[in-house]
């Protein structure tokens, strides 16, 4: 995606949804672990446990951000990524099933890009199941491109992974 298209995506922070209040995205706190685990359980076949999320909170290079649809609302989405040098590896992104298609997934990614810019990150890498069209469309929409296929990457069903990268140099 070129710079113009990236800026256009960034200027439409939560899709076509017409909302009165902007979503709030904040760092995950220890008290958020249960809510985040619930979203993970409802979103992934092999979800991370609370112990894994608690471990992430202790890692200096891990960033977990939680999203609320508005002030005082419950957590309905989260993103987890690692910043290593000038690269981000995106590990987890999920929105509660009942809250999807409102632009929250995209909002979490754009929030990650803002952090990336502050930390002088030049690229973001991720892998997704090849069957996960919702995620692949979301990632393409904010500037990720396919760079490779990793055969049989997911051990639960031997599914291939699509590896995607977003180059932030011109962002
Ligand atoms: C992928 C996921 C995070 C998307 O969250 P979301 O809040 O629904 O996404 P958004 O509303 O921001 O959607 C942004 C764009 O993504 C694409 N998209 C999202 N859901 C889609 C779907 N079900 N089918 C096709 N495209 C979809 C669309 O291009 C959409 O833009 P549009 O609404 O203007 O058409 C959510 O579906 C989810 O939690 N899935 C389960 C966990 C998961 O697979 N995570 C990714 C792991 S790699």
pLDDT at residue number 169: 81
**Centre of ligand 1 from the C-alpha of residue 105, in Å:** 6
Which CATH architecture is the domain 3-167 placed in? 3-Layer(aba) Sandwich (3.40)
pLDDT-wise least confident of 1-10, 32-41, 102-111, 138-147 = 1-10
pLDDT tens column, 69-120: 999 999 999 999 999 999 999 999 999 999 999 999 999 999 999 999 999 9
Please give all residues whose beta carbon lies within 6 A of any atom in ligand 1, as ranges: 15-16, 43-44, 93-95, 100-106, 128, 132-135, 137-138, 141
Give the closest residue (by CA) to ligand 1 atom 27. 134
The per-residue DSSP string of the chain comes to --HHHHHHHHHSTTTT---SS--EEEE--GGGHHHHHHHHHHH-SSPPPHHHHHHHHH-TTEEEEEEESSTTPPEEEEEEEEEETTEEEEEEEEE-GGG-SSSHHHHHHHHHHHHHHHTT--EEEEEEETT-HHHHHHHHHTT-EEEEEEEEEETTTTEEEEEEEEE-TT-
pLDDT at 3: 42
Q: What is the residue extent of each domain of the chain?
A: 3-167
Query: pTM (2 decimals)?
Result: 0.92
């Amino acid at each position: 995606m070129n710079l113009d298209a990236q800026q256009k995506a960034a200027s439409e922070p939560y899709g076509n949804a017409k909302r009165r209040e902007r979503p709030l995205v904040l760092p995950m706190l220890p008290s958020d672990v249960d809510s985040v685990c619930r979203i993970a359980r409802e979103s992934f076949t092999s979800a991370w446990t609370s112990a894994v999320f608690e471990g992430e909170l202790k890692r200096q290079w891990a960033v977990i951000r939680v999203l609320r649809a508005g002030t005082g609302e419950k957590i309905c989405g989260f993103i987890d990524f690692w910043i290593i040098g000038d690269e981000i590896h995106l590990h987890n992104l999920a929105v509660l099933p009942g809250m999807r298609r409102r632009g929250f997934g995209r909002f979490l990614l754009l929030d990650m890009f803002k952090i990336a810019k502050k930390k002088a990150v030049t690229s973001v890498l991720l892998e997704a199941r090849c069957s996960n069209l919702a995620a692949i469309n979301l990632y393409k929409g904010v500037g990720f491109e396919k760079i490779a296929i990793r055969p049989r990457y997911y051990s639960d069903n031997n599914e291939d992974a699509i590896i995607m990268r977003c180059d932030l140099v011109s962002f």
